[in-house]
Amino acid sequence: LEGTADHAGSVEIDRTFLHVDMDAFFASVEIRDNPALEGRPVAVGGSRPNRGVITAANYIARRYGLRAGMTSLEARRRCPHAVFLPVEGAKYTYVSAQIMAALERFSPEVRPLSIDEASLEITGCLKLYGSPEKLGRSLKDMIRSRFRLPCTVGIGPNRLVAKMGANLGKPDGLKVIGAGEAAEIFAPLPVDRMIGIGGSTARALYSLGINTLGQLGAAPEKLLKSCFGVYGPVMAKLARGEWSGGMRRDEERSPVEKSMGHQRTFGEPLSEPGALRGKLVALAEMVARRVRRAGMQGRVLTLTVRYTDFRTVSHQTRLPEPTDDEEDIILHGWMLFDEVYDIGSNVRLLGLSLGSLRPRAGACPQIDLFDSHVRLKRRLLYRALDDLRDRFGERVIARAMGMRWEPRGRDRPGGDPLETLMR
């Protein structure tokens, strides 16, 4: 049996992962349901001429520069003949749940990553199909015939390489990257194409003369560590397609990130404090879920508010202890909001991120004896919610407060957020 031996002397077989990414998912669903849209530039969101933002655009619309997050006004200026459709969230969620369930035909280990992406371990399924290419092709054919939707599939020796393969194979492609091939394939790509390297980090790398992933993978560890701390050598490994997680199933983790966050751009500007706090609840859920999935905890919470006049304000606070508990994130997020928000101003974007991340196993928070029962109940609740979302996707369940907030009494955070949310 070929494979690698772990420190206990057992043999771990080579593993193979598949990443499926639905192409321009929202727009593709709309085109499927209305064949008259075929061959035309289609944008979902921004259906009002002077308000709102684009949520998704098909590849024809992208040729004109349309992209997610663009204002409706700018999108119509760039492509006045595009078809602009309202967002049908319930429909997309339903189709996504159907697709995620169908993927279990190809692997019992399906991990939904978002409404339009999933990661599958296919190590034990390859004998049934003969090769990764044949399995990937069969999966694409199934989605095309059953759901009449295009998707791109990436296959690799770890989840990172499989995801990068899907990115490189778009649209409607199949990209297989074998063990040992990733470094050569990634080498000519600009550094900002790598998962986990954002704009500010990419600019810092460019200033050092590190422009491609090949250059990053070959950069001196001492240089990277002096400029980026412990994350520097991690980036070099990612650039070579190396992911230390996943050697044993119980140790698999996502690539290290310095912070994890989410942001939301509103089609209609919001100014009601209660409604904005409700949006923060939804963001806190997503941030906490992402941090728990990575097996991390964080201690620095950052809130970003962007107004309709494009003023952007960010404020952060250091939490009493590292956390992955969304109730902690909600409470402190509300406190930051009270400090930052310019009452009465229209808000276009809210962002929330958790930084100073560390592995959960090394974080050992001190739990008050009188508080431990509540925290245990929360932990069990989060585990159940995470299991549901792993199986059916991120949007299968959410707090009503995260979808619509109605103020009660004093319009400020107070008491236990869990009690507030569950009443």
pLDDT at residue 410, rounded to an integer: 35
Q: What is the dihedral of CA 74, 75, 81, 84, to 10 degrees?
A: -130
Higher pLDDT, residue 21 or 201: 21
Q: Which helix (H) or strand (E) holds 4?
A: strand 3-5
Tally of domains in the chain: 4
Residues 288 and 235 in one domain: no
Residues 296 and 380 in one domain: yes
pLDDT at residue 301, rounded to an integer: 92
Mean pLDDT, residues 29-45: 95
> Is residue 6 domain-resident?
no
In which domain, by residue range, is 194 found?
Answer: 184-246
| DSSP letters spanning 187-241 | TTSBGGGSTT--HHHHHHHHHTT--BHHHHHHS-HHHHHHHHTTHHHHHHHHHTT
Told to judge if 117 belongs to the known catalytic residues of this protein, a careful annotator would answer yes
Residue 27 burial (10 A CB sphere; 0-12, 13-18, 19+) = buried
Does the pLDDT at position 58 exceed 70? yes
pLDDT at residue 121, rounded to an integer: 92
Of all residues in the chain, what percent carry a pLDDT higher than 90? 43
Cα radius of gyration (the chain): 22
Q: pLDDT per residue over 353-412, tens digit each? A: 998 888 764 434 443 434 444 555 666 677 777 777 666 665 666 666 555 443 333 333
Give this prediction's pTM. 0.62
pLDDT at residue 49, rounded to an integer: 67
Q: List 65's β-bridge partners, or say none.
A: none
Higher pLDDT, residue 420 or 81: 81
Of all residues in the chain, what percent carry a pLDDT higher than 70? 79
Instruction: Provide the pLDDT confidence category of residue 327 given band limits of 50, 70 and 90.
Output: confident
Amino acid letter, 36: A
Residues 312 and 328 in one domain: yes
Mean pLDDT, residues 177-203: 90
Residues 177 and 210 in one domain: no
CA 398/CA 388 separation, integer angstroms:
11
What CATH number corresponds to the domain at position 68? 3.40.1170.60
Q: pLDDT per residue over 114-163, tens digit each? A: 889 999 999 988 888 889 999 999 999 999 999 999 999 999 999 999 99
Contact 241, 161 (CB under 8 A): yes
Residues 221 and 340 in one domain: no
CA 94/CA 409 separation, integer angstroms:
36
**Can you read off the two tokens belonging to residue 178?**
């074998």
Contacts for 244 with CB less than 8 Å, ≥ 6 apart: 237
pLDDT at residue 292, rounded to an integer: 85
Residues 387 and 281 in one domain: yes
pLDDT at residue 183, rounded to an integer: 95
Last residue of a domain, one of 147, 164, 183: 183
Q: pLDDT per residue over 255-300, tens digit each? A: 545 688 898 888 888 999 888 999 999 899 889 988 888 878 898 9
Q: pLDDT per residue over 60-116, tens digit each? A: 999 999 988 888 889 999 999 999 999 888 888 899 999 999 998 899 888 888 889
pLDDT at residue 137, rounded to an integer: 96
Q: Active-site residue among 2, 109, 117, 321?
A: 117
